[in-house]
Amino acid sequence: MKTISSMLMTQFIEALAKEMPVIAPVKNEETVSFQPWSAGMEIEWQKNSLIPPKNLFLPQVEVLYKYQVSGVNGEIEEIDADDSPRVLLGIRNCDLHSILLLDKIFLTDDYIDSAYQSRRKNTVIIVLQCSQPLSTCFCTSLGVDPRGGEGADLVLIELDQGVRGSDKMMYDPGRDFGIEARTPKGEEILKKHEDFLSDLQKKPAPLENCNLHLDERGVKEKLPKMFDHSIWADLSMRCLGCGVCTYLCPTCYCFDLQGKNVGEEGFKYRCWDSCMFSDYTMMAGGHNPRPTKRERFRNRFLHKLSYYRERYGELLCTGCGRCLAKCPVHLDITYVAEKIKEAKADVREG
């Protein structure tokens, strides 16, 4: 394992940025978000971003094509996705795993999303290992290893360099990192920038356990029999339908196709949507198969806990904890899973 000292990390990032854009978790007052890095920006190494980096592969708004009409004739201009090389730096393993889950949607089966594919192919991913989970983290319950790195090109490893505080290990934010290559792309980067690396050996920082757990034992077996259970009405009564859980979730991928037309010109675009919104399933004729919060709430959690697993073998959650931190009424997936486990047979069940 090679080491990058805290004094050389900024220079290493500057060298990468001269070759291609570096997208990193940047601090902006109290918010952390993934942005194109430039000299002088402060990278957040200790807290995860509020908005997950899924928008780098599935943009919040993306123009697909433009068109122009003249009488009975028309022209369509397809908008190609930006496929220029870039570096995604400082992504956590929970968010890295979420990209692998999205890959199964957009890069498998009978259809490959070409825009998603080109962004994915041309992104070098440098994952940052975690050692100190937040109180809202539960990634290990979902089989995500905070020190993993599956799917990354390079892995940054937090090194043990702290001093003992009264109740926990306190770390210097100007820490050194170990760095390991996991792919030929990663090996090429390390070889090209070996002047920033040293062989100084330190142990990885001690890993603290997540205090929160999602125990979904038994949920898989119960859910197929609970489609008409009264639990969905009871739980959804609290839900505000604001959609913050879907927008901040790294694995939610619902989108809508919209158009803008001005005179003889216009364009079609794809934008994020939410299954929690009332018009998400509204059909052209006015029928809505999910007319109330109950149906929409049920669909969201059946998708997370059942439907995706039936198709791909995993839960559609990575334990990042954003829904716990930001749901205004605390209807996060850990709470819902526990209520499902506690639920007894209902006379409304089929």
Please spell the DSSP secondary structure of 137-184, one letter per residue.
Answer: --GGGGT--TT--TT-SEEEEEB---EE-SSSEE--SS--EEEEE-SH
For residue 94, report the phi and psi dihedrals to the nearest 5 degrees: -65, -40
Cα 224 from chain centroid?
27
Task: Say if residues 185 and 221 touch (Cβ distance below 8 Å).
Answer: no
In this predicted structure, what is the pLDDT of residue 211? 87
Torsion sign over Cα 87, 35, 32, 55: negative
List the domain boundaries for the chain: 2-56+81-196, 219-252+275-342
In this predicted structure, what is the pLDDT of residue 30? 81
pTM: 0.91
In this predicted structure, what is the pLDDT of residue 167? 43
Residues 6 or more apart from 168 whose CB is under 8 A from it? 208
In this predicted structure, what is the pLDDT of residue 166? 39
In this predicted structure, what is the pLDDT of residue 348? 55
DSSP code for 43: B
In this predicted structure, what is the pLDDT of residue 163? 47
Residuewise pLDDT in 10s, the chain (350 residues): 899 988 899 999 999 999 999 999 998 888 899 999 999 899 999 889 999 999 999 999 999 999 998 888 889 999 998 889 999 999 999 999 999 999 999 998 778 999 999 999 999 999 999 988 889 999 999 999 999 999 999 999 988 865 434 344 444 445 789 999 999 999 999 999 999 999 877 788 888 889 899 888 889 899 999 999 999 999 999 999 999 999 999 999 999 999 999 888 999 999 999 999 999 999 989 999 999 999 999 999 999 999 999 999 999 999 999 999 999 999 999 999 999 999 987 755 54
In this predicted structure, what is the pLDDT of residue 174? 52
Residues 6 or more apart from 274 whose CB is under 8 A from it? 243, 246, 247, 252, 254, 280
* Nearest by Cα to 97 from 335, 327, 315: 315
d(CA 99, CA 85): 17
Instruction: Report helix, strand or coil for 97.
Output: helix
d(CA 156, CA 177): 6
d(CA 251, CA 263): 38
Instruction: Report helix, strand or coil for 122.
Output: coil
In this predicted structure, what is the pLDDT of residue 116? 95
